Amino acid sequence: MDAPEPVVDAFIDVLSAQQEKETLQNQAQKYRDGVLPMAQGQAEKMVKDAEAYKEAVITKAKGEAAQFTSITKQYERAEDVTKKRMYLETMEDILSGMNKIIVDGNAGNGVMPYLPLKELKPSEPTKQEESR
């Protein structure tokens, strides 16, 4: 006995839908199998990077705290000397990139108090030096 044509068409549609469902499930599984390990790897890398950053920040903070403690002890021993040294170190950092020479006009009685003197000499020999 043969089934009526509308029933056969519906049966074929059901079989097609089941096959399509299996195909889509297989594709989704394949995608998950590819994406999940990659996402887990990225997550692990982010966690490790965060831990490394945390350690770097802690280490830096401990170093700065130790430096502050050291400076505090020096300050307690010699307040004026420490203030002057800190001022000079700060000015050296600030002015290190400048191509200018700053001279205290009150110091030296007309003599420029600047060392090293080699930096004041011209780098190219003058005509008099070349003729010698």
Residue 128: per-residue pLDDT: 56
Give phi and psi for 37, each to the nearest 5: -60, -35
Q: Where are the domains of the chain?
A: 5-131
Q: Which tens digit of pLDDT belongs to each residue from 77-109?
A: 999 999 999 999 998 888 887 777 666 666 656
Q: Which tens digit of pLDDT belongs to each residue from 62-80?
A: 999 999 999 999 999 999 9
Question: Rounded CA gap, 131 and 125, in Å?
Answer: 10
Question: Rounded CA gap, 132 and 116, in Å?
Answer: 25
